[in-house]
């Protein structure tokens, strides 16, 4: 059996203030009336409709303004959700709307119904994701969610790390030293000898003869005079 009532509060899935709806008689009698969420539809109660409609308009205006401000605020935030992953970087499970709502409360003290967080599919990849928010029938927003791994990445073995850090030796000018380059000051190198070739004796510096001192006076050589 159905009965018609006037809602005095907003009830999700049923209606808002001043709405006239039909509900089960037992539901109205055992829940709506005791909780003061509705009143019976009578001539006397119809006079209260204007007051209920005005209160509803004020509530909806307040919700619209607050949700608009919230949409602007969350667009500048990055909500971080930490998950467990395997060694290959794949996530265990997925990030849900409930997890995002929980982190919004923990990190930014923002209470948001998870039903307003619109996810077409649960998030299963690490990195940044943009999530759509349905904050109000006339207000939508976007929230950046960064999914990070709580499992530390495996470190490379010491041999691999050492090989990447190895560099070529540098000279004083800062250039890589070439292998096989003769040291400075050495202008020639001994040529390799062929088979059977005798080694050449080492060159020795010849002794220079001592200079004969010239007499201060030049000796004149005279020819013998012919006899007359």
Q: What is the pLDDT along the chain (228 residues), one digit of tens a residue?
A: 889 999 998 888 898 888 999 999 999 999 999 999 999 988 888 888 888 888 889 988 999 999 999 999 999 999 999 999 988 778 888 999 999 999 999 999 999 999 999 998 899 999 999 999 999 889 999 999 999 998 765 565 556 555 555 555 555 555 555 555 555 554 444 555 555 555 565 554 554 555 544 444 444 444 444 444
| Contact of 130 with 62, CB cutoff 8 Å | no
C-alpha pair distances (Å), 165 with each of 124, 162, 177: 36, 5, 18
- Contact between 38 and 32 under an 8 Å Cβ cutoff? The reply is yes
Set out the domains of the chain in order of their start, with CATH numbers: 2-47 (3.40.5.10), 71-149 (3.10.430.100)
* Prediction pTM value: 0.55
């Amino acid at each position: 059996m159905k009965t018609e009532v006037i809602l005095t509060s907003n009830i999700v899935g049923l209606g808002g203030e001043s709405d006239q709806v039909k509900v089960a008689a037992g539901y109205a009698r055992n829940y709506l009336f005791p909780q003061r969420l509705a009143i019976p539809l009578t001539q006397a109660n119809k006079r209260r409709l204007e007051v209920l409609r005005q209160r509803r308009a004020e509530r909806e205006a307040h919700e619209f303004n607050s949700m608009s401000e919230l949409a602007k605020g969350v667009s500048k935030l990055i909500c971080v959700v930490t998950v467990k992953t395997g060694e290959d970087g794949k996530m265990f499970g997925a990030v849900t709307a409930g997890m995002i709502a929980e982190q919004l409360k923990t990190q930014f003290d923002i209470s948001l119904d998870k039903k307003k967080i619109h996810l077409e599919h649960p998030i299963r990849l690490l990195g940044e994701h943009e999530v759509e928010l349905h904050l109000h029938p006339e207000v939508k927003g976007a929230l950046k969610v960064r999914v990070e791994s709580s499992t530390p990445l495996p470190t490379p073995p010491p041999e691999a790390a050492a090989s990447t850090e190895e560099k070529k030796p540098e000279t004083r000018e800062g250039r890589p030293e070439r292998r096989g380059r003769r040291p400075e000051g050495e202008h020639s190198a001994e040529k390799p000898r062929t088979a059977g070739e005798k080694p050449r004796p080492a060159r020795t510096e010849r002794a220079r003869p001592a200079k004969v001192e010239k007499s201060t006076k030049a000796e004149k050589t005279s020819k013998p005079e012919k006899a007359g």
